[in-house]
Structure 1
Amino acid sequence: MTPEERSGLAYAVTGFAVLSAGDAVIKSMAGDWPAHAVAALRFSLGAAGLSVLLWRAEGPRAFVPANWALQGARGACLAIASLSFFSAIYIMPLAEAMAIAFLAPVLTQVLAGLLLGEEVRARVYLVSLVALAGVAIILRPNLAALGWGAVLPLISATFFALLMITNRLSAGQGSALSMQVFVAGICAPILVVAAFAMKASGVAALDFGWPSWDVVVRCAVVAVTASTAHWLAFIGTERAGAAKVAPAIYVQMIVAVTLGWLFFDERPDNLTLVGAALIIAAGLVLWRDGAQRRPGPARGMARGA
């Protein structure tokens, strides 16, 4: 590995670690403000900040997408995926929710065949079954304790996979920054409407008032760190190439386990670690297979904007 590739890998690892640290900040707000309100504020702040950057870099014309429907689909997928994931880490250990979220790259391979007509080999379906077995192992105690709330990370992974599909369809329709603005700019109002609809439902658990200053600060921190993480991963991919950078995404699992243990006293049991290992192994097998057959740009998971 050349020095340029080593530095690129370091950038990517740092970016993915920062992204997972942001998830821990989100979890720290459990009990302070509901997840749907946090998601709405976090993405509103992110969309506003990214829009300022895009305006200064490319001007007002950059805000007009080539395909409104496609960008709307991207924003809706991100909104559902993020709301589900935020809600999941409120009620589940961070490492468990993160491990199930890693099902998204595997689901993307299957959905690419169903929705894009791409060839899907039998091996992909076999690996997908292994990953689903890992999900079942991780969910085994949570279904009894949390009921259907335990499937929130699975819903999140499904819509992140759909986001990846729509990202593929959006390739070449704008700069990387404009693509972030489109998805965040559509995701944010969807989350705001959803948050106020939940507030108006009359369900006490869904009600919320004005956030405290520290909640606003933490939401702003997550918005900034998420955008920084994506920038670091992008720089890493440019320097080292997609094939070398893609597996670095799994550093998020190490960070999630560490932060969950240190700050939330969440210690995953051995079976949870086995389930996580199965999901990660499935993702790595598909990455290796794809890297050998189709070298090119990364198609990995990017959570948030």
Structure 2
Amino acid sequence: MQNHGRAILCVMAASFLYACSAAVVRGLSGAYPTLELMLFRSLIVVAVTLPLLLREGGLAALRPKAPLGHLARLAAGYLGMITAFYGYRTLPLATNTALGFCMPLFLTILSVPLLGEVVGWRRRGAVLAGLLGVLVMVRPWEAQAALPLFPVGVVLVGVVGWALAMISIRRMGALGESNVAIVAWFGIGSTILSAVLVVPYWVMPDWSGLAGMVAIGLITAAAQLLMTEGYRMADTTLVAPFEYGAIVYATALGAILYGEFPDPIGLVGIAIIVAAGLYVWRREVVVARLARIRV
């Protein structure tokens, strides 16, 4: 029971740190290109986490068993990351964070054709409700939409990318790929990709900008380690819902740091997305338990 409490605290702390990292990204986005922020984030995360990963699995664990799977995960995950960073530049923190939590909805949709999963009417209904929540948040039917449509669309494309990345991870896991290899190669690949793509857009950072970029990497690395520890100490069914605290933290940070206050209808849309995501998660737990009982 004590471990359960610690696990929940780890996940809550990780969610808060992810929101803090997003807030720093938003603050630096006006002065530095997205790719530069991504480079520092990826480079520092790899520098912090790779030694820990190697200590856990050794060099042998880095040997890829599914190289094409790693490429697919890199392409899809990088799309998700670059669009999320673009969202921090163009959308309120709470909005971008809420859109990110549409990932389980898209994962449910894509798991049918790509993984052959059977999705019942309850999860289908939750997916539709979540997408309705996006519409409520954006309100495109108004003369002037509540949120700019293009950035919202770009971020949602990236959320689909994250869902595809999760499917790639599931497939690699089924092939026996180690978690060490999956995490390490994405970090290394995203660092190299950002280093190449940022060259024509590079802006030499001043000391405050450099400190902010280093902070993004260190905060993200700490968040990843805490999240991993939380999921290690307790079952996913216990700790996963606490990830949604990130929306609360992002809303508070957006209001305090940038004067971003979601209107009441926008908050309703966010609440619908959260409720839909939690329901999909709950139904997946129930379906998995029933499958084990039948076996």
Kindly tell me: are residues 144 and 9 of structure 1, through their superposed partners in 2, closer, same or farther at Cα, counting changes over 3 Å? closer
Moved more, 220-229 or 157-166: 220-229
**CA positional deviation for 1:110:** 1.2
Range with bigger deviation, 254-263 or 224-233:
224-233
The amino acid of 1:75's aligned partner reads: L
C-alpha deviation, 1:163, in angstroms: 1.3
Q: Answer whether contact 2:48 2:221 (CA < 8 A) is retained.
A: no
Superposition deviation, residue 56 in structure 1:
5.0
> What TM-score comes out, normalization by structure 2 length?
0.89
Partner of 2:153: 151
Q: Residue deviations 1:105-163, cap 9 Å, x none?
A: 11111111111111122222221111111111222378576452332221221111111
**Counterparts in 2 of 1:207-222, with a 5 A limit?**
207-222=201-216
Partner of 2:112: 113
Letter matched to residue 3 of structure 1: Q
- Offset, 1:72: 1.1
What residue ranges of structure 2 are gaps of 5+ in the alignment?
Answer: 291-295
Question: Taking structure 1 as the reference length, what is the TM-score of the superposition?
Answer: 0.86
- Measure how far apart 1:265 and its partner are: 0.6
Hey, what's the Cα distance between the residues in 2 that align with 1:190 and 1:94?
Answer: 26
2:129–2:273: 8 Å Cα contact kept in structure 1?
A: yes
| Residue of structure 1 aligned with 2:164, choices 156, 162, 165 | 162
Aligned match of 1:171 in 169, 173, 178?
173
Aligned to 2:220, which of 215, 226, 232? 226
1:100 aligns with 2:99: yes
- Give the equivalent residue in structure 2 for 1:67: 66
Residue aligning to 1:280: 274
Measure, in 1, the Cα distance between the counterparts of 2:283 and 2:88.
31
Aligned-residue Cα RMSD (Å) equals 2.2
* Identity across matched positions, percent: 25
| 1:184-215 Cα shifts (integer Å, max 9, x gaps) | 1112222333333xx3xxxxxxx442222332
Q: Does 1:194 align with 2:197?
A: yes
Aligned amino acid, residue 171 of structure 1: G
Are 1:11 and 1:235, in contact at CA under 8 Å, matched by a contact in 2?
A: yes
Change beyond 3 A, Cα 1:288–1:145: closer
Q: Which amino acid aligns with 2:86?
A: S
- For 2:151 and 2:10, the matched residues in 1 are separated by 35
Say if 1:56 and 1:214 are closer, same or farther in 2 by CA, change over 3 A.
Answer: farther
Consecutive unaligned residues in structure 1, runs of 5 or more: 200-206, 297-305
Corresponding residue for residue 46 of structure 1: 45
> 1:230, CA displacement in angstroms?
2.2
